[in-house]
Amino acid sequence: MLGAIIGDIVGSVYEFHNFRAKTFQPFFHEKTFYTDDTVCTIAVADALIHDRDPAAALKDWGRRYWENGGWGQRFALWLASDDMAPYGSYGNGAAMRVAPAGLLADSVESTLALAHKVTAVTHNHPDGIRGAQATALAIFLARQRVAPHNIRVAITERFGYNLDRSVDEIRPDYRFNETCQETVPQALVCALTATGFEDAIRNAISIGGDSDTVAAIAGGVAEALFGIPDDIADQGWARLPHDMREVLTHLYQEAGMLV
């Protein structure tokens, strides 16, 4: 899950100022910050490890970090209201926050169920559910040491996404898009064709678009595939407040992983 957060942080300065190459320097720009993507991912983790209503957890963390900004318009209206009902979204927020489900699941079936549970409280459109489940399943399969090529095949067969393109093929024509259907496949390609964690994040930034979210999705999968280099993990961890670090620590303990 820290991989998703690092993707969000690294991508934060490129969301509206795309850098369409892998050569950006430094890896953590001095102006990087965690965005709504991180806040919502922490909320999902909190819901799963403490058996909370995901909608309540999202509202709790979203309001706690309201000034962090970056909320999608419909999500912001939902967040500010007392209405707990979903609103039919198929936005890429479904996929950018779902990494904890892929981390905690112990089977394909539980991965899909957990992803649905934390997604349907807002993004209950079939394309929203599909984007979240595809992302969580890629993380789960990577944790099981399934080869990236086989993960691509499994995701394509189950969800119908085209994952046959390369990053170089995606980059020239890719544009800003906040839907799952035009974010998740591209982000998965960025992770599943990478040579390591940093390379996956650089792939994600390089295609442009909704950079923090593309990199968050790719980062969660890349962490499961490759782990996170210590120096990158330390820099990501240092950018988080104490309450978020506590949730992350508990999440990794629940997953049986070292922090």
- pLDDT tens-digit map of 153-184: 999 999 999 999 999 999 999 999 999 999 99
**Percentage, residues of the chain above pLDDT 90:** 97
Q: In the structure, what pLDDT confidence band is assigned to residue 145 with cuts at 50, 70 and 90?
A: very high
Residue 60 has pLDDT above 70, yes or no: yes
- pLDDT tens-digit map of 196-246: 999 999 999 999 999 999 999 999 999 999 999 999 999 999 999 999 999
What are the two backbone dihedrals, phi and then psi, of residue 104, each rounded to the nearest 5 degrees? -90, -20
Look at the domain 2-64+87-254 and name its fold: ADP-ribosylglycohydrolase fold (1.10.4080)
Residue 257 pLDDT: 86
Residue 259 pLDDT: 59
Domain positions in the chain are: 2-64+87-254
Interval 245-256 mean pLDDT: 96
Residue 69 has pLDDT above 80, yes or no: no
Interval 57-73 mean pLDDT: 93
Residue 258 pLDDT: 67
* Average per-residue pLDDT for the chain: 97
Residue 21 has pLDDT above 90, yes or no: yes
**Percentage, residues of the chain above pLDDT 70:** 99
CB < 8 Å & 24+ apart, contacts of 11-18: 11/201, 11/204, 11/205, 11/211, 11/212, 11/213, 11/214, 11/215, 11/216, 12/211, 12/212, 14/205, 14/208, 14/211, 14/212, 15/210, 15/211, 15/212, 15/213, 18/176, 18/208, 18/209, 18/211
Peptide bond just before 241 cis, omega within 30 deg: no
Helix 108-119 crosses helix 36-49 at what angle (to 10 degrees)? Answer: 120
Residue 26 has pLDDT above 70, yes or no: yes
Interval 105-119 mean pLDDT: 98
Residue 230 pLDDT: 97
Q: What's the one-letter identity of residue 46?
A: D
